[in-house]
């Protein structure tokens, strides 16, 4: 401490004078524990069934079994489910970006009777756990003839109160002068929105897109009930049916579950800052 106070620099580099190496040791151990399940998963996905079930455990495959990964595509309708998951996610992300931005803009910038009551009603959805909606949603999808379709799995998640809330907050924070200028040039509200406000909404749109993609890709409950056929469902559901009652090919199961997580992991590593910002928003949802 004494060297800190006698040093001529007015402000210490760090608020806390903690020994650096201790911080790094703790963070490294904690961090490795956090990712350990993924490392172990990769290890198992490249092992033989005998190695996976051996005691003591095998820490490295004697010979990496890359064939486990090709087996994934042969044994289960994995590719089909991968495609379904991707299509559902894309439909939801595009749908939400458009609908939530439009509605968020209306709630933030337009004047019409009953606006505040309507917005409060939309927000009230967030207070209600999703189990309340599930049975009737199933009925709606059934009546529309959309069970076992991409559209049916995607539909309820296209409409989001939380996305609307995020977009409204964003539009409220934008300066009014931009719109004034557009209006003076004779643009109608749609042109103002589409040409000026929407393109300036990058950060808010990316938060909505990332949260929707995560929720949609990883969702289990809704696809589980909205699609009953193996080739019509998503990866999350497909994985749960992979563990057979008596014989499960563990290495292939590990390879499949790793492949199922890979797209979002890559997204996270590439867009790290954006994803963390998006996740920070999800805390508000509660």
Partner 1 sequence: MSHETAGAAVAPPRRRRRAEGWWPLVFLGPLMIGIVVFYFWPILATVINSFSTFGPFGGRSFNGLANYAELLTDSFIPRAILNTLIYTLIVLCGIPLAVCFASLLNQKGLRFARFYQVLFFLPAVSMPVAVALVWRMIFNKEFGLVNWLLSAVGIEGPYWVTAPWWSLLAVSIVGLWASLPLAIIILGAGLRGIPAELYEAAQLDGAGPVRQFFSVTVPLLTPSIFFLSIITAINGFQLFDLLFAMMGQANPAMADTQSLVYLFYSEAFRQNNQGYASVIALLILAIIGLFTLLQFRLQRRWVHYE
Q: Which of residues 83-142 bind partner 1 (CB under 8 A)?
A: 98-100, 102-103, 105-107, 110-112, 115, 118, 121-122, 125, 127-140
Helix H segments across 110-174? 115-124, 131-143, 150-158, 161-172
Min. distance of Cβ 42 from partner 1 in angstroms?
Answer: 10
Residue 142 CB, nearest approach to partner 1 (Å) = 10
Q: Which residues in the 30-69 window bind partner 1 by CB under 8 A?
A: 30-32, 34-35, 37-38, 40-41, 44, 52-57
Q: Which residues of 67-102 are buried (b: 16+ CB within 10 A; e: fewer)?
A: ebbebbeeebbbeebbebbbebbebbbebbbebbbb
> What is the C-alpha separation between 219 and 213, in angstroms, rounded?
10
Interface residue with partner 1 among 86, 87, 151, 264 (CB under 8 A) is: 264
186 sits near partner 1 (criterion: CB under 8 A):
no
Specify burial of residue 234 (Cβ count, 10 A radius: 0-12, 13-18, 19+): buried
User: Min. distance of Cβ 70 from partner 1 in angstroms?
Assistant: 19
Distance of alpha carbon 36 from alpha carbon 42, whole angstroms: 10
Residue 136: CB minimum distance to partner 1, A: 4
Verify binding: residue 184, partner 1, rule CB under 8 A.
Answer: yes
What is the spatial distance between Cα 68 and Cα 89, in angstroms, rounded to a whole number? 27
- Least distance (Å) from partner 1 to the CB of residue 122? 6
DSSP 57: P
Task: Indicate the residue among 67 and 133 with the shorter CB distance to partner 1.
Answer: 133
The one segment of 69-77, 86-94, 196-204, 252-260 that binds partner 1 by CB under 8 A: 252-260
Q: Determine the interface stretch with partner 1 among 62-70, 146-154, 180-188, 195-203 (rule: CB under 8 A).
A: 180-188
**Residue 283 in the binding site for partner 1 (CB under 8 A):** yes
For residue 222, what are its two tokens?
């809704």
Q: How far is the CB of 246 from partner 1 (least distance, A)?
A: 11
Question: 56: cis peptide before it, omega within 30°?
Answer: yes
């Amino acid at each position: 401490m004494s060297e800190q106070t006698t040093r001529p620099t007015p402000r210490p580099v760090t608020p806390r004078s903690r020994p650096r190496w201790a911080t790094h040791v703790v963070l490294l151990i904690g961090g490795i524990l956090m990712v350990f399940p993924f490392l172990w998963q990769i290890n198992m996905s490249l092992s033989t069934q005998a190695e996976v079930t051996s005691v003591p455990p095998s820490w490295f495959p004697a010979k990496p079994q890359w064939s486990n990964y090709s087996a994934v595509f042969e044994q289960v309708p994995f590719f089909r489910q991968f495609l379904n998951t991707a299509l559902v996610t894309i439909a939801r992300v595009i749908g939400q970006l458009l609908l939530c931005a439009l509605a968020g803009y209306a709630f933030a910038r337009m004047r019409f009777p009953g606006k505040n009551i309507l917005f409060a009603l939309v927000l009230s959805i967030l207070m209600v756990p999703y189990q309340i909606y599930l049975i009737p949603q199933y009925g709606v999808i059934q009546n529309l003839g959309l069970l076992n379709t991409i559209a049916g799995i995607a539909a309820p998640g296209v409409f989001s109160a939380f996305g609307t809330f995020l977009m409204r907050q964003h539009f409220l924070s934008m300066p009014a002068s931009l719109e004034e200028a557009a209006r003076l040039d004779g643009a109608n509200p749609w042109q103002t929105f589409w040409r000026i406000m929407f393109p300036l909404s990058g950060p808010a749109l990316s938060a909505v897109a990332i949260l929707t993609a995560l929720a949609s890709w990883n969702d289990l409950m809704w696809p589980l009930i909205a699609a009953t056929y193996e080739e019509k469902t998503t990866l999350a559901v497909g994985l749960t049916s992979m563990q057979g009652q008596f014989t499960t090919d563990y290495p292939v199961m590990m390879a499949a579950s790793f492949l199922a997580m890979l797209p979002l992991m890559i997204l996270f590593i590439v867009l790290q800052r954006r994803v963390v910002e998006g996740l920070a928003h999800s805390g508000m949802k509660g």
